[in-house]
């Protein structure tokens, strides 16, 4: 009997799929979809493009076509925050400039504002009715105008434009243009119809494209290649603009109400399918029985088999033969050197998803019928039924037998599955670190609790490169005659017990303290500090690792190294001497009195030349 695993290299080579997402571990799941709890309030669908964007610090800005509004962090109400706009619509955040971009349609310009103070930095004029804005990873700005999509670099210099689009979005090195219900993806040049009557609110996050369907009053989700992934669950209403805020979506429904938040991956699609073939049978054995087994968790699913090439995905083509629902294995009668096509259909309730990690085909499957007396094989019809009937029970025992047979490989870090490696150590490690951690488990446990062990554990689980500081290493014991007084000498931090004649002793009224006094270096013993750089990892995650890996009798403190280099305070080269970027103008404590310094072309207005008095 020969067998073959079909999920080669964790990429499902030779298979097609629809409605399924390939995870980093090589497993297939239903597409993740947004989840919320927003009911339709019956408001009319907006006309024209509006904008919503989140900026660092937690503030959210949005427009209603007349004003620019802000929702400060930890607030639920909006307030108008900037005047002087004729018809504000599209919004975007420019990370390189730390600026808020506002498309002022009525004044044919894009206004560049400081994202923290809303102080004008620059004004890009000469843009005919700008409506939608997008910023790519390089800082290039795309402005959808009445005539075309204008391209502007981060400093305001113009570049060759793109074809006309009603809305524009950018993510992952690609630009998405929405025009006439069709989305064009650049630089590939691929175009696909949305099938939506009144689309609006184009946004992109990773490989997923979000578009409001104002005819059905829902938020539709597509893949970058145009495949329809589904719709947001728990949301109903018009969509004027969609923004991305980390793991959440900001949906602006028009008007002055605060945009609502949806979890970007809180729900799942309802169905998906994967299929592939042909899978050649290398066995010339007569009357073979093929056994197909799926390694799958969750519900629901169904296997499909075909011995002839199907015309489409299961279950549309009648050539597919379905197995029992939720049965992880099935059999099919074959022929010597024949070919096989296999498909799996996953379904869910919208809130959970089955996970398909592997498919295995056993060609020329040897059943328990061979171990029974020949009397059970006289009648061909009974023989075929008994062979299939015994195979149902045999598959369960075969799986257990294979696990026992493969036990050496499952314990070898070079061949074990990545998902099982960290579990044996009682850790949660990324798959790329699991093999290395298991292979070096003995060496890791040998230095556990040491500074080197802590640094290695922090880096393996959080990716941060920590600096372990032990104050005790900077102390030393002094003796009389060894160091000059006041330079290398020291005394304990507390007052030792005892009595001094002539100073604190009274006859029959003094008591000597039997305590040996304050222990030397008590204030620094068994204490250490863990220093991590800002942005490397979350302090809470590092603290959890240190709490688990540090000795029980020690005390520690996690410090975040900020880019605030100061001589004599934070000035250890290679450790905490980090130089920050220049601060925004006016953010320091020292400022010139009077009005802000004018900027030519941004805040200056040239008037007529007056006559001398």
Counted domains in the chain: 3
Q: Domain check: are 9 and 75 in the same one?
A: no
The model's confidence at residue 510, banded by pLDDT at 50, 70 and 90, is low
The model's confidence at residue 532, banded by pLDDT at 50, 70 and 90, is confident
Q: Domain check: are 184 and 159 in the same one?
A: yes
Q: Within a domain: residue 129?
A: yes
Of 300, 331, 366, which residue is a domain's last?
366
Say yes or no to pLDDT of 246 above 80.
yes
Of 349, 366, 383, which residue is a domain's last?
366
The model's confidence at residue 10, banded by pLDDT at 50, 70 and 90, is confident
The model's confidence at residue 25, banded by pLDDT at 50, 70 and 90, is confident
Q: Domain check: are 19 and 99 in the same one?
A: no
579 vs 279, residue with greater confidence: 279
Report how far residue 313's alpha carbon sits from residue 317's, in angstroms, rounded to the nearest whole number: 7
Of 563, 591, 607, which residue is a domain's last?
563
Burial of 76 (0-12, 13-18, 19+ CB in 10 A): exposed
pLDDT of 515 = 59
Burial of 450 (0-12, 13-18, 19+ CB in 10 A): middle
Domain containing residue 173: CATH number: 2.120.10.30
Strand partners, 159: 151
The percent of residues in the chain predicted with pLDDT above 70, rounded, is 77
Average pLDDT taken over every residue of the chain: 83
pLDDT of 32 = 96
Q: Within a domain: residue 592?
A: no
Q: Domain check: are 180 and 224 in the same one?
A: yes
Q: Within a domain: residue 414?
A: no
Mean pLDDT of 323-330: 88
289 vs 609, residue with greater confidence: 289
403 vs 88, residue with greater confidence: 88
Q: Domain check: are 83 and 188 in the same one?
A: yes
Q: Within a domain: residue 569?
A: no
Angle between helices 451-462 and 539-549 (to 10 degrees): 140
Domain limits at 462? 447-480+527-563
Quick: pLDDT tens for 455-509: 888 888 888 888 888 887 767 666 666 666 666 666 555 444 555 555 555 666 6
Report how far residue 280's alpha carbon sits from residue 332's, in angstroms, rounded to the nearest whole number: 14
Say yes or no to pLDDT of 182 above 50.
yes
Whether the full predicted model's pTM is greater than 0.95, yes or no, is no
Q: Within a domain: residue 399?
A: no
Q: Domain check: are 142 and 167 in the same one?
A: yes
Mean pLDDT of 197-226: 95
pLDDT of 325 = 92
477 vs 358, residue with greater confidence: 358
Mean pLDDT of 403-409: 79
Q: Domain check: are 76 and 194 in the same one?
A: yes
302 vs 425, residue with greater confidence: 302
Q: Domain check: are 164 and 291 in the same one?
A: no
pLDDT of 408 = 80
Say yes or no to pLDDT of 180 above 50.
yes
Q: Domain check: are 231 and 285 in the same one?
A: no
Nearest in space to 572 (alpha carbons), one of 580, 582, 564: 564
Q: Within a domain: residue 377?
A: no
Among 238-242, 456-460, 462-466, 559-563, the minimum mean pLDDT is found in 559-563
Among 128-142, 262-276, 364-378, 473-487, the minimum mean pLDDT is found in 473-487
The model's confidence at residue 518, banded by pLDDT at 50, 70 and 90, is low
For residue 6, the SS3 value is coil
Mean pLDDT of 245-262: 93
Q: Domain check: are 250 and 302 in the same one?
A: no
Q: What angle do CA 106, 110, 112 make, to 5 degrees?
A: 135
Q: Which helix (H) or strand (E) holds 23?
A: none
Q: Domain check: are 249 and 325 in the same one?
A: no
pLDDT of 21 = 95
pLDDT of 96 = 92
Domain containing residue 16: CATH number: 2.60.120
Q: Within a domain: residue 13?
A: yes
Q: Domain check: are 64 and 168 in the same one?
A: yes
pLDDT of 525 = 80
pLDDT of 613 = 38
pLDDT of 165 = 96
pLDDT of 186 = 95
What are the DSSP calls for 225-268, one per residue? TS-EEEE-EEE-S--SEEEEETTEEEEE-STTSPPEEEEEEEEE
Nearest in space to 200 (alpha carbons), one of 244, 236, 252, 261: 252
pLDDT of 233 = 96
Instruction: Count CB-CB contacts under 10 A for residue 350.
Output: 16
Q: Within a domain: residue 78?
A: yes
Quick: pLDDT tens for 37-79: 999 988 888 888 999 999 998 899 999 989 999 998 756 778 8
Q: Which helix (H) or strand (E) holds 162?
A: strand 158-162
pLDDT of 580 = 60
The model's confidence at residue 330, banded by pLDDT at 50, 70 and 90, is confident
């Amino acid at each position: 009997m020969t067998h073959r695993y079909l999920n080669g290299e964790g990429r499902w080579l030779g298979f097609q799929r629809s409605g399924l997402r390939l995870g980093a571990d090589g497993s297939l799941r239903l597409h993740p979809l947004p989840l919320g709890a927003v009911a339709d309030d019956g408001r009319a669908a907006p006309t024209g493009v509006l904008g919503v964007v989140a900026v660092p610090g937690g503030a959210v800005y949005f427009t209603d076509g007349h004003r620019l509004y802000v929702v400060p962090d930890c607030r639920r109400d909006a307030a108008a925050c900037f005047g002087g706009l004729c018809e504000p619509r599209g919004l975007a955040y420019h990370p390189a400039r730390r600026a808020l971009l506002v498309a002022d349609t009525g004044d044919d310009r894009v206004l560049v504002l400081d994202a923290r103070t809303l102080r004008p930095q620059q004004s890009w004029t000469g843009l005919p009715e700008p409506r939608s804005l997008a910023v790519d990873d390089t800082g290039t700005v795309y402005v959808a105008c009445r005539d075309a999509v204008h391209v502007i670099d981060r400093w305001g210099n113009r570049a060759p434009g793109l074809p006309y689009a009603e809305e524009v979005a950018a993510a992952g090195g690609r630009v998405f243009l929405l025009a006439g219900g069709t989305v064009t993806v650049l630089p590939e040049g691929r175009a696909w119809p949305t099938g939506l009557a009144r689309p609006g609110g184009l946004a992109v996050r990773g490989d997923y494209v979000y578009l409001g369907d104002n005819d059905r009053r829902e938020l539709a989700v597509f893949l970058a290649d145009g495949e329809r992934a589904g719709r947001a669950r728990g949301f109903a209403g018009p969509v004027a603009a969609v923004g991305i805020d980390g793991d959440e979506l900001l949906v602006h429904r028009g008007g002055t109400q605060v945009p609502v938040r949806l979890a970007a991956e809180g729900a799942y699609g309802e169905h998906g399918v994967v299929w592939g073939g042909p899978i050649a049978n290398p066995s010339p054995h007569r009357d073979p029985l093929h056994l197909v087994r799926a390694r799958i968790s969750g519900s629901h699913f169904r296997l499909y088999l075909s011995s002839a090439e199907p015309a489409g995905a299961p279950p549309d083509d009648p050539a597919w033969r379905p197995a029992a629902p939720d049965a992880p294995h099935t059999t099919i009668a074959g022929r010597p050197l024949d070919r096989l096509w296999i498909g799996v259909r996953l379904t869910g309730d919208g809130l959970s998803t089955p996970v398909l990690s592997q498919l295995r085909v056993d060609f020329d499957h040897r059943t328990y019928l061979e171990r029974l007396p020949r009397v059970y094989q006289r009648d061909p019809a009974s023989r075929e039924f008994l062979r299939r009937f015994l195979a149902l029970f045999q598959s369960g025992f075969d799986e257990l037998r294979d696990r026992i047979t493969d036990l050496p490989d499952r314990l070898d870090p070079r061949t074990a599955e990545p998902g099982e490696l960290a579990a044996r150590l009682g850790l949660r490690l990324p798959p790329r670190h699991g093999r290395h951690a298991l292979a070096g488990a003995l060496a890791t446990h040998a230095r556990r609790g040491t500074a080197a062990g802590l640094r290695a554990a922090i880096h393996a689980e959080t990716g941060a490169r920590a600096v372990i500081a032990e104050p005790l290493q900077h102390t030393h014991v002094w003796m009389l005659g060894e160091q000059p007084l006041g330079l290398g000498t020291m005394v304990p931090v507390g007052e030792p017990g005892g009595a001094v004649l002539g100073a604190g002793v009274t006859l029959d009224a003094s008591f000597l303290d039997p305590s040996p006094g304050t222990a030397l270096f008590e204030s620094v013993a068994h204490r250490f500090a863990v220093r991590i750089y800002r942005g490397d990892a979350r302090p809470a995650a590092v603290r959890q690792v240190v709490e688990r890996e540090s000795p029980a009798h020690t005390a520690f403190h996690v410090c975040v190294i900020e880019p605030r280099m100061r001589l004599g305070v934070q000035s250890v080269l290679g450790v905490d001497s980090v130089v920050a970027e220049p601060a925004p103008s006016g953010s320091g404590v020292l400022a010139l009195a009077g009005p802000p310094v004018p900027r030519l072309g941004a805040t200056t207005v040239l008037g007529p030349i007056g006559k001398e008095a």
